[in-house]
Chain A
């Protein structure tokens, strides 16, 4: 843009037609650049830079501190554990559900997909409250289960409970992400495989799963990132008493006792690193996805 302006001789009004339209384009894009820069890129840059500064010097000190503290390591471990497991559970249930959906009638299918997109918005604070009502100490389902002597030692306000809630909100998202891949599987492929001598399992092993696996893996990664970055649900469930990475980051910048924004930055960068990795793998998978399933 600068070079464009310096080449313009006197006034903008006399610019050649082409350059004038280039300028108009630049003006149209400018507000986005400013807002996105100020509120998306700048905070990220601040976090990236400050995670590496100790008393004004470049250093990996904060990272060392974060990774050597058993408390932080526990937060990291809890985050990973809950995210990976809830993503797997969500993925398996969503895959079974998507397959059943793909095999059921189109009226039911449309309705259920709409329902799933609705419940996928049901997360965070309201979801935590709904689970407290259902499965809290005096929740109706807890009472029912306890009456039959089941789930006596189940505690919603623990990582156990968190795993349950996370798995819950992964399911509708998983269905929405996976269903299109199932929908792209054509009945003719199964018929052709059957005629050519493949068993039902043979079809899935040789054709179905190879076609689905990029979608399965991609969905798993999105669910994983979704769970790792989640904060509201866990915060609302226990007012921040569960030790998760996102809860630690938030309490280091907005807690009541002591604030350590630079340590928070190091933790945040660890989180970003993991999420960026999943995003990159996901992009790579998307590129490898066979065209037939686009």
Chain B
């Protein structure tokens, strides 16, 4: 049962349409990521759902109601902006209370609701601070609390973590997920970070130039990219043209292929394994240490491939220039749509 439905969305300028008959539906209680490079229309989509950009064509339904042309404040939607958009003249408490004040709720009730909300995001001690006295992570939590306090039917997050450093980002990511699940909130999450999308979402919508390239859960999207764009955006896939693929696998290929770097096997001896192509001689060109993973760039004739290995034993690191053998599991070859 679809909770949020966008149907036949048309948007953009005559010469330069961004969305052309765009359709998307989202189930209740799901956290859905809109993933794509900047300019792919994901933020515009969010603003259309929020009503911040007037809709040019198509319909938007939320919980069975047509909200296509409602004012933003009539939609019951909470949103966290990339810049947080905290009101600089209001304290943390007043920022969070803003929506309840607009609804003219009784003072005591507002106080109770805001205090409870602040406690949930661990900001109770900072209630009287002004936004400029907060760190980035604290601002982010205030923005989240402000969006959640009036119990929206839908939560929109516009790259909410992009301005934060890596450690805080991971912590907040978990906090967002917990809150979302605790409230059973349907959430649309815009990001250009594939790792963020993979770890956080129930459902990923991969977009390019106003079109949906692929959607599905994290495992599907990661393991089965549909085309070259998806393969390159989601993982560090090796993308091979049909002729390159033929050279590597030794089998006739008619389509371009993608291979995940961690599926490739490197060894010092040629091993003939069932379900694998014949071993190919390769030479290590470059080595990157990514912590738990070692990323090799190897040359196989004309081809340059990326191979990931777990960094298990420091002694088993191959050196740059070393001659190795490469085996490719046939099952790992993903044919790509043109």
Q: A: which residues have CB within 8 A of B?
A: 186, 188-189, 191-199, 202, 206-207, 210-211, 290-293
Q: Which residues of A contact B170 (CB under 8 A)?
A: none
- The minimal Cβ–Cβ distance linking A260 to chain B, given in whole angstroms, is 51
Q: Are B89 and A191 in contact (CB under 8 A)?
A: no
30 intermolecular pairs with C-beta atoms under 8 Å apart: A186-B85, A188-B85, A189-B87, A191-B47, A191-B52, A191-B72, A191-B81, A192-B79, A192-B87, A193-B87, A193-B98, A194-B71, A194-B73, A195-B51, A195-B72, A195-B78, A195-B79, A196-B98, A197-B73, A199-B73, A206-B87, A206-B90, A210-B89, A211-B88, A211-B89, A290-B89, A290-B130, A290-B132, A291-B132, A293-B88
Query: Which residue on B lies nearest to A211, using beta carbons?
Result: B89
Q: Are A191 and B132 in contact (CB under 8 A)?
A: no
Question: Taking A197-B99, A202-B102, A292-B132 as contacts, is the C-beta distance between A192 and B81 under 8 angstroms?
Answer: yes
Residue B83 interfacial (CB < 8 Å) = yes
Q: Which residues of B contact A291 (CB under 8 A)?
A: 88, 132
Query: Which residue on A lies nearest to B146, using beta carbons?
Result: A196
- The minimal Cβ–Cβ distance linking A210 to chain B, given in whole angstroms, is 5
What size tier do the contact residues of chain B reach?
20 to 34
Query: Which residue on A lies nearest to B71, using beta carbons?
Result: A194
Q: Which residues of B contact A211 (CB under 8 A)?
A: 88-89
Q: Which residues of B contact A188 (CB under 8 A)?
A: 81-83, 85
Q: Are B98 and A292 in contact (CB under 8 A)?
A: no
Among candidates A189, A198, A292, residue contacting B102 with C-beta atoms closer than 8 Å: A198
What 0/1 pattern do residues 64 to 81 of B give for CB contact below 8 A with A? 000000011101011101
- Among A192, A198, A199, A207, max chain B CB count under 10 A is at A192
Q: Are A195 and B52 in contact (CB under 8 A)?
A: yes
Q: Which residues of A contact B73 (CB under 8 A)?
A: 194-199
CA distance A207 to B87 in the complex (A): 7
Question: Taking A290-B89, A290-B132, A293-B88 as contacts, is the C-beta distance between A196 and B81 under 8 angstroms?
Answer: no
Residue B292 interfacial (CB < 8 Å) = no
- The minimal Cβ–Cβ distance linking A199 to chain B, given in whole angstroms, is 8
- Among B89, B102, B131, B132, max chain A CB count under 10 A is at B89
Among candidates B72, B89, B146, B147, residue contacting A207 with C-beta atoms closer than 8 Å: B89
Query: Which residue on B lies nearest to A189, using beta carbons?
Result: B85
Q: Which residues of A contact B9 (CB under 8 A)?
A: none
Question: Taking A195-B50, A198-B98 as contacts, is the C-beta distance between A292 and B77 under 8 angstroms?
Answer: no
CA distance A202 to B98 in the complex (A): 11
Q: Which residues of A contact B98 (CB under 8 A)?
A: 193, 196, 198, 206
Q: Give me the 6 closest cross-chain CB pairs, A-B, nearest first.
A: A188-B85, A292-B88, A197-B102, A196-B99, A192-B85, A194-B72
Query: Which residue on A lies nearest to B156, using beta carbons?
Result: A195
Q: Are B102 and A194 in contact (CB under 8 A)?
A: no
- The minimal Cβ–Cβ distance linking B256 to chain A, given in whole angstroms, is 41
Among candidates A186, A193, A197, residue contacting B83 with C-beta atoms closer than 8 Å: A186
Q: Which residues of B contact A197 (CB under 8 A)?
A: 73, 99, 102-103, 150
- The minimal Cβ–Cβ distance linking A38 to chain B, given in whole angstroms, is 44
- The minimal Cβ–Cβ distance linking A9 to chain B, given in whole angstroms, is 53
Q: Which residues of A contact B103 (CB under 8 A)?
A: 197
Query: Which residue on B lies nearest to A184, using beta carbons?
Result: B88
Query: Which residue on B lies nearest to A213, using beta carbons?
Result: B89
Q: Which residues of B contact A290 (CB under 8 A)?
A: 88-89, 130, 132
CA distance A290 to B147 in the complex (A): 23
CA distance A211 to B88 in the complex (A): 8
Query: Which residue on A lies nearest to B132, using beta carbons?
Result: A291
CA distance A199 to B147 in the complex (A): 17
CA distance A186 to B85 in the complex (A): 8
CA distance A186 to B4 in the complex (A): 29
Query: Which residue on A lies nearest to B85, using beta carbons?
Result: A188
- The minimal Cβ–Cβ distance linking A201 to chain B, given in whole angstroms, is 12
CB neighbors of A among B27-66 (8 A): 47, 50-52
CA distance A170 to B206 in the complex (A): 54
- The minimal Cβ–Cβ distance linking A105 to chain B, given in whole angstroms, is 15
- Among B51, B79, B85, B150, max chain A CB count under 10 A is at B85
- The minimal Cβ–Cβ distance linking B185 to chain A, given in whole angstroms, is 15
Query: Which residue on B lies nearest to A192, using beta carbons?
Result: B85
Q: Which residues of A contact B87 (CB under 8 A)?
A: 189, 192-193, 206-207
Q: Which residues of B contact A191 (CB under 8 A)?
A: 47, 50, 52, 72, 79, 81, 85
Query: Can you name 5 extra interface pairs (CB under 8 A) apart from A195-B50, A195-B79?
Result: A196-B146, A197-B99, A202-B102, A206-B90, A290-B88
CA distance A292 to B130 in the complex (A): 11
Q: Which residues of B contact A189 (CB under 8 A)?
A: 85, 87
Question: Taking A202-B102, A293-B88 as contacts, is the C-beta distance between A194 and B132 under 8 angstroms?
Answer: no
Query: Which residue on A lies nearest to B84, using beta carbons?
Result: A188
- The minimal Cβ–Cβ distance linking B321 to chain A, given in whole angstroms, is 52
- The minimal Cβ–Cβ distance linking B173 to chain A, given in whole angstroms, is 22
- The minimal Cβ–Cβ distance linking A209 to chain B, given in whole angstroms, is 10
- The minimal Cβ–Cβ distance linking B104 to chain A, given in whole angstroms, is 10
What 0/1 pattern do residues 103 to 131 of B give for CB contact below 8 A with A? 10000000000000000000000000011
- The minimal Cβ–Cβ distance linking B97 to chain A, given in whole angstroms, is 10
What 0/1 pattern do residues 190 to 222 of B give for CB contact below 8 A with A? 000000000000000000000000000000000
